[in-house]
Structure 1
């Protein structure tokens, strides 16, 4: 199981029965493929649909039915398509219960940066709909790899990249751990099997406390 699948599988477990859930571009879009069998959700995609399901078989792919990352998905009974403007309006107005967003950085105060990196002196790409989601969604789950390619922590004391949303993240999921943000305090809730709290401290820049109910991550 690769790193992206570990994160997507664990993120899917955070979704609750009956919710309207948005999945952001990247790792989050894969969560729909690993939903627990005992929950029913209305899945929303920013590019203009409610009621989509997991990826189809290769032989059943329809290039007109995709998620925000242009990946093929299925439409479930009752699914609805709409304009991008209507979709963004639903995101801003609070009709989405939970969103899973990819992130470049998060920090111990629940800030998230997921849209801009500096390359060759320029900031890019654009912010997209993530800003609307961090403003209008009740519960924000951030997903990202724990460290960058050089081994530097992406779970920061304070985000260094331009913010997408401030003090909005409730849960952070990496391939190494699960954290909750409670009153601007980072709480370590789960660790990947075989890892210890000391292992997590060694790769995490942010300060955190340990949950009384700390347990191994279950996939």
Structure 2
């Protein structure tokens, strides 16, 4: 069975962005989404360290060595971009001025709870960053994650066992086996790779599952290179 790679997951996320959306991409896997955004969508990428309008990451737009995003990666600006201080940037987040935030996670619960931070060994303080502000202040919270831990335990659970980042905020999960909507305290398969069936899905998802009449659709693999050819929003 061919599972989605991280870049293929990022591709599906980018194809679901509506036109002109203001989007924040979290640290880690979500940063890959920048490579797959269709140029004509007019997406404005926000970074909590004070950037609105980061350029799409392409070979034609080299990063500026003097600019970094929240992941400490060098980035470039698109025409019309702006730079502000942390106070204004977090006001955008807390005030509901972003349209979508894409976060990584250790666990997502069927009621939309998300746990995406951990107290590392030797760390005196939790490394939460701006994830809490993004999660509670953004109307749509999407998660990119692998469904299983290294010990093969599911990360899509009935109730989170790890410290929560936010409660009841996640509306969609993108993973190596497909895309799930989080609705009415259930994971609803929206699209799945070939080979994942109702009988086999509990191997990846330990939380409650609901099947919609119009879902899921089969993700045709391999994904081609046409921007905007995916599943739609």
The answer, yes or no, to whether TM exceeds 0.5 is yes
Distance 2:124 2:136 in 1: 22
Q: Distance in 1 between matches of 2:128 and 2:185?
A: 24
Farther-moved stretch of structure 1 (93-102 vs 110-119): 110-119
Taking structure 2 as the reference length, the TM-score comes to 0.85
Give, in angstroms, the shift of residue 157 of structure 1.
0.9
Q: How many residue pairs get matched?
A: 218
User: Matches of 1:38 and 1:196 in 2, distance apart?
Assistant: 36
1:191, distance to aligned residue in structure 2 (A): 0.7
Contact 2:115 2:162 (8 Å CA) reproduced: yes
Instruction: Indicate which of 46, 67, 70 corresponds to 2:69.
Output: 67
Q: For residues 100 and 108 of structure 1, what CA distance do their matches in structure 2 show?
A: 17
**Which segment drifts farther, 179-188 or 111-120?**
111-120
Which residue of structure 1 lines up, in the alignment, with residue 97 of structure 2? Answer: 95
CA distance in 1, matches of 2:23, 2:34: 10
Cα offset, 1:74, TM superposition:
2.1
Q: CA deviation at 1:106?
A: 0.3
Gaps of 5+ in 2: 224-233
- What runs of 5+ residues in structure 1 fail to find an aligned partner? none
The corresponding residue for 2:26 is 24
Residue number in structure 2 paired with 1:168: 169
CA contact (8 A) 2:61 2:76 kept: no
Q: Spell out the pairing of 1:99-110 with structure 2 (5 A cutoff).
A: 99-110=101-112
Shift of 1:200: 2.0
Cα distance in 2 for residues equivalent to 1:43 and 1:159: 29
* TM-score, with structure 1 as normaliser: 0.91
- SS class of match (2:134): helix
What pairs with 1:1-219 in structure 2 (closer than 5 Å)? 3-57=5-59, 60-117=62-119, 119=121, 125-213=126-214, 214-218=216-220, 219=223
Q: Could you tell me how far apart the structure 2 residues matched to 1:9 and 1:123 are?
A: 37
